[in-house]
C-alpha cells in the first residue's frame, strides 16, 4: 500500500492491516538503524511532549501547529498507553516518518517498552483491534528498540524524553549506548527516559526549618536522588548546570511529567517540560502545549485543550481495518465499547494497602494470564469491559 494512501486512511482513524504494518515497521527500522543515538536538527521546529494514545488530540495538535511537511516536528516520546487510540497514534507517526523523514523526528520514551505496554493499555488494545493477535504489538514494540534517545537543536538545546543520568556526563557517552534493545531497569539508557528534574526553593522554605534543612535541600540540588517512580533519578539545578557547561549547551527540553498548564519551566529556564496530552486519561483536566521553536532564542508555547471528539467518544474503538487487496471495510472480530468514564472508573477497592510502587515492571493485569490458563476468553467484550472497570490509573508514570 502506498504511503500516501496509508496516510489518507490513518488521518481518518482507520487501522491498517497487519501485513502493511509489518512492512512499514521493517522499512522504518532500516531507516532508523542508520541514525545515531543523538540526532542533530535545526530550527524552526515544533517540540511535542507525551501524546499517550490520544489520537484525536494529536489531530487537533496538527490543526493548531500545522501538518507535516508544512511544519517540522520533534516528538519526545510516549506515543502509546493510557489513551484509547494508541494504535492509530503510533501508526500515523510511523507513516509520517517514512513519508517525510527529514520533517519529523521521533525519540524514545519510557512507554516505548514491551514491559510497560503490557501493563498500561497498548498490548490489550492491539489484541482487541486485531482479533486477539499479538503480531501488531510485537512488530511495533520491536520497532521501538530502534528509536533514537536524544536530539540536539541548533547545537545548543538538548532534548530527551526524561532527563539526565549519573552515568552520563557528556553527549559522547550517550552516543555509545547500545539502544537496540528493551529499555533496561537501570543504567544510562533507563535514566534518559525515566528521570525528572526536582526544584527545591530554599528561599521559599517554611518558617522554622533549621540549617540542617538548608543543607539537605542544597544536597538534593547538587546530587542525583533516587526517583519515587522506582526507575531513574531526580536531579536539581547544580546537576543541570554542570551538564550544560560540560557539553556547551544552553538548556534542556523534555517531556515525561504531567503539567496542569501544558508546560513547566525549571531552574529559571534551564529545563522545560512540554506536555501534549490534554485532559490526560480523559479525567485530569489539564491543558496541553506544543513548543514552537523559531530560533534558539525565539519560541512560543502554543497551549490547547482537548478536542471535542474526546468529550463525545463512546467506545474504546469504532475504527475499521482494511483488507489489503480489496480496500473494503472488514469487521473486527472483537469490538470493545465502553463509556470513557466507565473505562477509567475506580472499582472502589482499597489500593492503599499492599505494594503500590514496589515494581513498575510488574504487570498490573497479571490476573489476565491466570484467567487465560483457566480457560476464560480474555478477548471477549464482556471480559474486557470488566477488566477496564478494574484498571488502575497511576499518574506517577
111, 245, 351, 390: which one is catalytic?
Answer: 111
> Which DSSP letter does residue 262 get?
S
User: What's the rounded Cα separation, in Å, for the pair 237 and 269?
Assistant: 11
114-143 burial by CB neighbour count: b if 16+ within 10 A, else e?
bbbbbbbbbbbbbbbbbeeeeebbebbbbb
Which segments of 229-366 does DSSP mark as H helices, in order? 237-246, 308-312, 340-343
Q: Is 223 a catalytic residue?
A: no
Please return the burial class of 4, using the count of CB atoms within 10 Å of its CB with bins 0-12, 13-18 and 19+: exposed
345-356 burial by CB neighbour count: b if 16+ within 10 A, else e?
beeeeeeeeeee
SS3 content of the chain, % helix, strand, coil (to 5): 35, 15, 50
Q: Is 46 helix (H, G, I), strand (E, B) or coil?
A: strand
> Which DSSP letter does residue 261 get?
T
Phi, psi of 337 (to 5 degrees): -110, 125
> Which DSSP letter does residue 111 get?
T
The enclosing H or E element of 378 equals none
Which segments of 38-111 does DSSP mark as H helices, in order? 55-65, 86-99
Residues belonging to the active site: 111
Amino acid at each position: 500500500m502506498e504511503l500516501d494512501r496509508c496516510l489518507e486512511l490513518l488521518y481518518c482513524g482507520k487501522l491498517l492491516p497487519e501485513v502493511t504494518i509489518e512492512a512499514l515497521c521493517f522499512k522504518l527500522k532500516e531507516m532508523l538503524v542508520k541514525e545515531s543515538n543523538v540526532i542533530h536538527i535545526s530550527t524552526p521546529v515544533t517540540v511535542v511532549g507525551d501524546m499517550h494514545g490520544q489520537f484525536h488530540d494529536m489531530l487537533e495538535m496538527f490543526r493548531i501547529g500545522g501538518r507535516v511537511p508544512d511544519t517540522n516536528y520533534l516528538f519526545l516520546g510516549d506515543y502509546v498507553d493510557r489513551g484509547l487510540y494508541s494504535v492509530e497514534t503510533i501508526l500515523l507517526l510511523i507513516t509520517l516518518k517514512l513519508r517525510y523523514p527529514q520533517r519529523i523526528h521521533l525519540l524514545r520514551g519510557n512507554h516505548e517498552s514491551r514491559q510497560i505496554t503490557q501493563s498500561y493499555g497498548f498490548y490489550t488494545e492491539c489484541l482487541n483491534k486485531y482479533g486477539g493477535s499479538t503480531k501488531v504489538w510485537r512488530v511495533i514494540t520491536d520497532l521501538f528498540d530502534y528509536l533514537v534517545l536524544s536530539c540536539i537543536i541548533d547545537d545548543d538545546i538538548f532534548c530527551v524524553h526524561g532527563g539526565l543520568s549519573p552515568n552520563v556526563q557528556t553527549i559522547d557517552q550517550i552516543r555509545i549506548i547500545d539502544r537496540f534493545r528493551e529499555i533496561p531497569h537501570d543504567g544510562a539508557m533507563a535514566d534518559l527516559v525515566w528521570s525528572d528534574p526536582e526544584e527545591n526553593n530554599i528561599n521559599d522554605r517554611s518558617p522554622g526549618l533549621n540549617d540542617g534543612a538548608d543543607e539537605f535541600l542544597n544536597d538534593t540540588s547538587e546530587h542525583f536522588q533516587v526517583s519515587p517512580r522506582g526507575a531513574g533519578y531526580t536531579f536539581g539545578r547544580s546537576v543541570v548546570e554542570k551538564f550544560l557547561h560540560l557539553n556547551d549547551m544552553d538548556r534542556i527540553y523534555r517531556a515525561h511529567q504531567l503539567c496542569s498548564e501544558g508546560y513547566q519551566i525549571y531552574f529559571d529556564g534551564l529545563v522545560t517540560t512540554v506536555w501534549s496530552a490534554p485532559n490526560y486519561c480523559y479525567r485530569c483536566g489539564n491543558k496541553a502545549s506544543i513548543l514552537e521553536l523559531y530560533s534558539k532564542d525565539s519560541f512560543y508555547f502554543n497551549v490547547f485543550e482537548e478536542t471535542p471528539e474526546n468529550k463525545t467518544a463512546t467506545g474504546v474503538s469504532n475504527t475499521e481495518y482494511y483488507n489489503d487487496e480489496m480496500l473494503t471495510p472488514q469487521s473486527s472480530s472483537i469490538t470493545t465499547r465502553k463509556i470513557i468514564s466507565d473505562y477509567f472508573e475506580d472499582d472502589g477497592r482499597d489500593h492503599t494497602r499492599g505494594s503500590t510502587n514496589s515494581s513498575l515492571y510488574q504487570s498490573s493485569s497479571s490476573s489476565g494470564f491466570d484467567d487465560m490458563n483457566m480457560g476464560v476468553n480474555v478477548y471477549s467484550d464482556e471480559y474486557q469491559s470488566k477488566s477496564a472497570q478494574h484498571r488502575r490509573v497511576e499518574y506517577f508514570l
